[in-house]
Structure 1
Amino acid sequence: MSEADVFYSCGSCGYPLNLASSNRVTSSIGSKYSKSIKKGYISFLSIDLSRFTQVDEVNCLPISWAHHGSKTKLLCRKCGVLIGYGYGDSTAFCGLDSPTSSSSSYKKIMIKIRALQPSEDRLSLLARYGSNLQSLHLDCCLGITDHGLFFVASGCPSLTILSLYRCNVTDIGLETLSQSCFGLKDVNLSYCGLISDHEAESCKLEPEGIMGIVSGGGLEYLSVSNLIWCIQGDGLLSIGAGFATNLRVLNFRLCRTVGDETIVAISKGCPLLEEWNLALCHEIRVAGWESIGLNCQNLKRLHVNRCRNLCDRGLQALRNGCKRLRILYFTRCRLVSSTAIEIFKCLRSDVKIIEEEIMCIAPDWAFQL
């Protein structure tokens, strides 16, 4: 194996598959290879079959009609997720599991790229090759922990986009990133279940974790929807403490404990904010809405769906302020009267009220290579 060899694990459960990057088929690099990559597959010379459950597919056509003969599904031995296919002349019956058979019986082995994740230790290679890397996506890499984020932080000082969707990272890893990657603009932390509390279904950040995210100063998009706090208060106050002045898109959807103090701080501390999702933020009251109307003068899109404490006075504050507001997502706000809505429409004809709830507000420029 070469020094720069990368080993892959199951992208679903993290089970080591003993697939090495040095064992990939690279002799046909060119148009044929590129087409395979675009289809989401990579080819391997051989594999460790003890890591897979093999299930032969039944084909009613004569074997002579098929280009590779029989086709066998290669499933992760631990969780059963489909990893790829082996093609050969095997005459095994459907469902036969033969972990001791040789991989040489397959003429071709095709592995789904999205079914894999790299080994965490090999992220150390970023120290040598990652100095100019600007975008890194580690979505569903369950084996990536704070240890891996240390390699990312130390090896990728130019990083601006980072996606850690469903990674097993904690506040410590985020703090490490904040101390090295000062150019970070977009960070995806959706369903990072080990942040502060491994029992949380979504992120459960401590205020220190939030500070770690925004302290770099360059963040433009942040989604921290569906947060559940293990301490008193909503914990998001640090976003408005002067570190996130470049923030343009902010998703607070389902942050039920966010209160007026935080809303006031953010509306004052994030002057460039253009879109803000506050759907189902039940603790925002008149003071919060008034602060948004007074201070969020660059706000173009605002989501207030199902906000229990948005009332006529709150809607009036938004109507009188937010001079650049163009779209208001509004549904099922029980304290807002039909009269207040009609007055809003008459006096702010430049604002389109859309009775629709948007789940994701990631901007087009977020997480793009």
Structure 2
Amino acid sequence: MSAPRPGTDGLADARARIAHLRQVRRLDDAERAARDALSSWPGDAGLLCELAAVLLARERYTEALPAADAAVAAAPGDERGHRLRGLLLSMLDRHAEALSAAWTSVSIAPQEPVAGIAYARVLQRAGRLRDAAQAAGRVVTLAPSSADAHFLLADVAGDLGDVTTARRAYEETLRLDPEHAAARHDLAVLDARARRPGRALRGLIDAGRLAPAMTQVRSTVVAVLWQLSGRMRLWLVVATIAVLATAESALAARIVGGVVLLLTAGLGWWSLRGLPRGSWPVLVATLRTDRPLTLVYAVLAVCLLVLVAVVATGLGVLAILVWFALIALGLLTLVVGLARRRRQRTSER
């Protein structure tokens, strides 16, 4: 690709092209276009900001910081250079410098929502959550029709543990922008924490359809499926006690076993009612990505088959097999949980 032709119109076109490429996530092309344009206009603050923004999107923070520094030096009165510099310093955990740069951006353009959003994000990453919540609230006041402003408030409120505010802000985000995949995902996380697995799965499937590249959707779906398996295990403990209590009478064992199976089907329908069409292949495919979870559901299916055998034969004593299976699943869940927490701690070091 040849460098753009010098001139005012060419400079404006170059900036617009780079911004468009970045917005449509063609980041390789955007970086190439930014570097080509800078060969013709090496000191242009706008192009330097575009390059810094592209590298920020590519998570190459150390490379992006010199471009932001150069943009600030070229145009110290432009808030964007300070804003990008603050975000980059924050991602590099240089929080004191990041706060100073982000505050400069807000001071230059106090009525600019994007400057306020960046300042709130820098405060959030620095651990100053209450200050971040105040900054986010001010951004919502400045731009009440901005989905990004409400999403910011929801995110910070969630970190503060203010679930009511977070849920309300996520819902407002989705009212303003129904295709905001991150808001759908994070609202589903709140549903999962509130022990509403059916609603959580609906939100996660919607988020995955809106943003197939959002990698955290799969891991959250897996977490919700683990949660559902835990509910199923607890229910089977109660059901097995009931069946074993009637083991001396074949008729009673059949009746109790049949009631248990009907209630299991009803509870399953109630938990997963309202899932969008086409959800089951997605859930099955996700289930298969986690081998321990696949094993858990396979054993749970065997437990239900044992209860079917109780209904068919009247041998309530067969339910003792469910006990052994549930004990094995409890041990498996414990081992998997400990191993994954240990792996997570190791990766965070």
Q: Is the structural similarity TM-score above 0.5?
A: no
Flag the structure with larger Rg.
Answer: 2
State TM-score, norm by structure 1. Answer: 0.31
Greater helix share, structure number: 2
Higher relative contact order (CA 8 A, sep 6+): 1
More strand by share: 1
Q: Could you state the TM-score of these two structures normalised by the residue count of structure 2? A: 0.32
